[in-house]
C-alpha cells in the first residue's frame, strides 16, 4: 500500500503547516473514521511545542481525508489544528 497526495492536499499541507511525513504517519497509525462522500479520515496528534503564526502551541493535530484507490490511499485534503 502506498499513500499518494493530490494537488489540493499538497497545497493545503503547505498552507497549514503539515509535513508529508506527518500525514503519512497519520494515515498509517492514526485513528480512522468515516467521512462524507465515501471517504475515510485519519486523525493523529503530534508533539509540537513551537510557534505557529506567532503563537505558541504544544500539540499539532493532523486530519487527513483520503479515498481508497486500490491498492493506494489518495489523500485529498488535510486539516491541521494547533492547541
Cα(32)–Cα(40) distance, rounded to whole angstroms?
Answer: 7
For the question of whether the overall pTM of this predicted structure is more than 0.85, the answer is: yes
Q: How many domains does the chain have?
A: 1
* Full residue range of the structural domain in which residue 20 is found: 3-82
- pLDDT value of residue 1: 77
Q: What is the pLDDT of residues 51-63, one digit of tens each?
A: 999 999 999 999 9
Under-70 pLDDT residues of the chain: none
pLDDT computed for residue 56 by the predictor: 98
Helix axis angle, 20-29 to 7-16, nearest 10°: 110
Amino acid at each position: 500500500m502506498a499513500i499518494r497526495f493530490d494537488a489540493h492536499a499538497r497545497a493545503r499541507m503547505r498552507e497549514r503547516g503539515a509535513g508529508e511525513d506527518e500525514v503519512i504517519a497519520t494515515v498509517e497509525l492514526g485513528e480512522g473514521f468515516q467521512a462524507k462522500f465515501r471517504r475515510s479520515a485519519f486523525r493523529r496528534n503530534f508533539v509540537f511545542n513551537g510557534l505557529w503564526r506567532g503563537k505558541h502551541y504544544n500539540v499539532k493535530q493532523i486530519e487527513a481525508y483520503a479515498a481508497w484507490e486500490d491498492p493506494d490511499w489518495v489523500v485529498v485534503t488535510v486539516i491541521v489544528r494547533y492547541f
